Amino acid sequence: MLKTDLRAWTIWWGAYLWPVWGKLLHSVKTGTSARKLLLGTDGFEHLQRDRAAAAVFNEAFREVTRLACRDIVAAYDFSGAKRVADIGGGYGQLLLAILEAHPHLSGILFDLPHATPETGLPDRCEFVAGDFMKSVPAGADVYLLKHVIHDWNDDQARLILENCRRAMTDEARLLVIERILPEHFRNTARDQSAARTDLTMLIAHSGRERTKAEFHELLDAAGFRVTRIVPAGQALSIIEARAACGRP
């Protein structure tokens, strides 16, 4: 394992996940976030008022995303796009990698104010602060949601997807980049890792990983149709979706 891998996971586990894992039993019994039990807040509200915690989270997210960027950029063809919006994109590691690989593209990096990039973005990319539970920026023809949907329960995830759908034209594409759970778990290292991640989402955010069928159901309910699923390394898949008839 590379030093950067160790650094990312040390930050992630030591400062962000280890405290909530101590309340695993609470989350298993109640189905609710251990972070809410400890801090009294849902989702990422605590990062809005704790800049030190926000810096730890965003740095860890940047490192973890960096490890997946090459595979994602190689797996998906962005050549036909003009403007890419990374929704909940943190410091913008993935979006910047896509823009670097495709000089014809411009980008929108969208996240809560705590995720404002520490370094300047290139001229082709703008940072827009906002809350994807309320709305997302219009004007892109590709929308990215990497490691966003698994942070939320089905109702919250559907709301995020519906807000993306409202911002998108009928020709735009949505790329949901997530781990896909197996329909039936086996005693393998890959499936054990998937189960740990699923538990992590439960205790940290009351969220969950999902199977292929569950992603189809969730996207259908939000006004999308899945057009294809592309493997992207690091146990991730790119779920491409387009608008179904009508709007949510």
Q: Is residue 102 part of a domain?
A: yes
Q: Is residue 56 part of a domain?
A: yes
Q: What is the CATH number of the domain that holds 75?
A: 3.40.50.150
Mean pLDDT score, 83-88: 97
Q: Is residue 47 part of a domain?
A: yes
Q: Greater confidence, 237 or 121?
A: 237
> Cα(28)–Cα(32) distance, rounded to whole angstroms?
8
Percent of the chain past pLDDT 70, that is, above it, reads: 78
The confidence score (pLDDT) of residue 211 equals 97
Average pLDDT, the chain: 84
Its domain, for residue 61, covers: 3-243
Q: Greater confidence, 17 or 203?
A: 203
Q: Is residue 140 part of a domain?
A: yes
The predicted model scores a pTM of 0.82
The confidence score (pLDDT) of residue 4 equals 43
**pLDDT by residue (tens digit) across 140-178?**
999 999 999 998 999 999 999 999 999 999 999 999 999
Catalytic member of 104, 150, 184, 216: 150
Q: Is residue 239 part of a domain?
A: yes
DSSP 43-56: TTHHHHH-HHHHHH
Q: Which two tokens stand for residue 177?
A: 């980049």
The confidence score (pLDDT) of residue 32 equals 79
The confidence score (pLDDT) of residue 46 equals 61
DSSP letter assigned to residue 112: -
Q: Provide φ and ψ at 27, rounded to 5°.
A: -70, -40
Q: Is residue 18 part of a domain?
A: yes
> Cα(196)–Cα(127) distance, rounded to whole angstroms?
33
Does the annotation mark 205 as catalytic?
A: no
Q: Is residue 248 part of a domain?
A: no
Q: Name the domain count of the chain.
A: 1
> Cα(87)–Cα(115) distance, rounded to whole angstroms?
12
